[in-house]
Structure 1
């Protein structure tokens, strides 16, 4: 990955994050559900990061996990999948807004979630 400003794919037809809560409880794992659009070829080098909303570079993530790659995909169908962020790697509680971002193997942001916080 190059350390450069975020390169964002068009939001239309991008990765869609599902059931994103407005707040998450600190010190508990977070499950992130998302849908890849039809025709997307997921890679083991794609990843989902938790970013501060103002983050301007793909290296400015708080934490990340590698995306899950389904064993088989049916062309023309969206791919629904999820990943888990372990509690010990999550941000501390506070007013800061975060969002999930899906970053592909080329370092391009292919989707981002609505903002959320970590609060007690």
Structure 2
């Protein structure tokens, strides 16, 4: 039925599915691996399926006039597509898929380049130097956060500095921001700096790791 529907319905043609290398997943007697033994004796069928589609963000953007069409930066590969016959609480057997997701960077060079200056310690104020590409849409609400190298989310910062309020020096090529010694972790460790853009709602620059 699914194959017939894919031929008939245009939107389904864009979806992919892995090869069906497992037995039909319906209909089973409960708590068994025996197909339907009731009076109806339904014919075994692959009723439990996983389909996927990757939306090309460049196609969406080009329709809105923002970007030309390019190769989709997101790719999905099916690694595993199996059924689980040991489950018996339903007359269906569950199906799972394992996927590998690859995301190419949207920009080849960072919008902001930044790094820690000098020795970092909780015994004195510390300095950060950064520079941005000319077209970067900076904001007074941008900030630079200090993160442990194992951070997983933008909210995992240890401390942060506002790029405008905490600026102490500026020239054509770069700007300098300070962080107070009281904000630097005394236990030390390996850290990095991230520049967060309020306009882009994203981290747009990450420093090399360094020791505190």
Q: Name the TM-score class by shorter chain.
A: 0.7 to 0.9
Deviations 1:28-68 (A, max 9, x none): 11110000111112101110000001111110000001112
Which is strand-richer, 1 or 2? 1
| Offset at residue 10 of structure 1 (A) | 3.8
Task: Give distance in 2, aligned partners of 1:34 and 1:107.
Answer: 18
Task: Give distance in 2, aligned partners of 1:55 and 1:84.
Answer: 22
Structure 1, unmatched stretches of 5+, are 1-7, 71-77
| Offset at residue 92 of structure 1 (A) | 1.5
Scaled by the length of structure 1, the TM-score of the pair is 0.73
Q: Are 2:204 and 1:107 equivalent residues in the alignment?
A: no
Q: Which residue of 1 aligns with 2:159?
A: 63
Task: Give distance in 1, aligned partners of 2:116 and 2:161.
Answer: 18
Deviations 1:70-120 (A, max 9, x none): 9xxxxxxx75111100000011143x21011000104311001111111xx
Task: Give distance in 1, aligned partners of 2:187 and 2:111.
Answer: 29
From 17, 28, 37, the equivalent of 2:124 is 28
Higher relative contact order (CA 8 A, sep 6+): 1
Task: Give distance in 2, aligned partners of 1:35 and 1:112.
Answer: 12
Task: Give distance in 1, aligned partners of 2:108 and 2:123.
Answer: 31
Structure 2, unmatched stretches of 5+, are 1-104
Which is helix-richer, 1 or 2? 2
Q: Are 2:192 and 1:117 equivalent residues in the alignment?
A: no
Contact 2:147–2:157 at 8 Å: present in 1 too? yes
Q: Which has the larger radius of gyration?
A: 2
Q: Superposed, which structure 2 residues align to 1:1-120 within 5 Å?
A: 10=107, 12-18=109-115, 20-21=117-118, 23-68=119-164, 80-94=174-188, 96-105=189-198, 106-118=200-212
Query: How much is the aligned-residue C-alpha RMSD, in angstroms?
Result: 2.5
Secondary structure at the residue paired with 2:141?
coil
**After TM superposition, which residue ranges in structure 1, 4 or more long, deviate above 6 angstroms?**
none
